[in-house]
Amino acid sequence: MGGVAGAAPGTDGRSMVIVAFDQVQLLDVSGPLEVFTTANRYGASYDVRVVSPTGLDVHTSSGLRIGTTSRLAQLPQHVHTLLVPGRRDWQRATADRELMSLVSGLAGRARRVTSVCAGAFLLAEAGILDGRRATTHWELAPQLATAYPRVRVEPDPVFVRDGRVATSAGVTAGIDLALALVEEDHGADLAREVARQLVVFMARPGGQSQFSVRMTAQQSRHPLVRRAMDEITADPSLPRGTDALSAGLGISARHLARLFRQETGMTPGQYIDAVRVEAAQALLSSDTASVEEVAQQAGFGSSETMRRAFQHAFGVSPTVYRARFRTTAPPSASPVASLPR
């Protein structure tokens, strides 16, 4: 069988092999698959294959059955990119000897090896992540670190690259990683066309956090903290401080600060700064607003204050961050070698 909307087998197209297996998360497979096949519409030459350990169709975790497009014997000898998705019950996946044999064998033939979400556990089980930086879904990161102590687990980033290996966070982060690979192979312009076609954000850099600071409010159990957070996130541009927030809640500033630390690990001031940085990140995607205007709208008051906040958060200025916004590369120089072309 041929590739999925990819270059014809035998051409010089990049062979992209996606492993599928029973109870795999559907979006782990379909998200990157859509990115690569859509890229072919804009000039890429990906020969995309979906394989399973048995060569048969598989049932995903959502109950939908998906078909494979190639058997192992039909794959090219040299694979350009291997992508390994995951399943929530990762122990069952790593205990599947047939699946692990497939992953290990293909990884040895691949120029790039990547994973989505719990797929990192399969790479770790195969020894591919030993001594490397890696990430996975934030909820699974402690389990990855405990089960595979030789892996340098980073629970926060959307995706992590270390040499020829790249691992991504939960489910939709596989789309971010796939866009980054397309950009690496074919440039930012083509990757941007793919992102636009799929109606997804182009510029979620690998180093960006899996978490939105605004989601923290949903996790807080204390009603006063939630109210304070809601006020801050409703309009970050309003001049607020701990005294004003606590007065509005009818409690002391000290009590509010204590509650914030208990619930979020941050002070109210740190939370305000984080929300403003996040708001500025979104505003910097605009081609019309100046840096000074963004600083005012995000609540920083001046571009210099915003510059200091960005330097602290990302190690770059807002201007440099904006310049990188339309690509998938991290906003600061990474000490980790990029994936080979």
Active site residues: 117
Distance CA 5, CA 35 (A): 11
Backbone φ, ψ for residue 228 (5° rounding)? -65, -45
> Residue 80 to residues 67, 108, 113, 251, 340: CA-CA distances in angstroms?
22, 11, 9, 60, 10
- Are 38 and 181 within 8 A, CB to CB? no
User: Is-contact 329 183, C-beta < 8 A?
Assistant: yes
**Whole-number Å distance between alpha carbons of 271 and 230:** 11
**Which residues touch 288 (CB under 8 Å, ≥6 apart)?**
none
Distance CA 312, CA 43 (A): 39
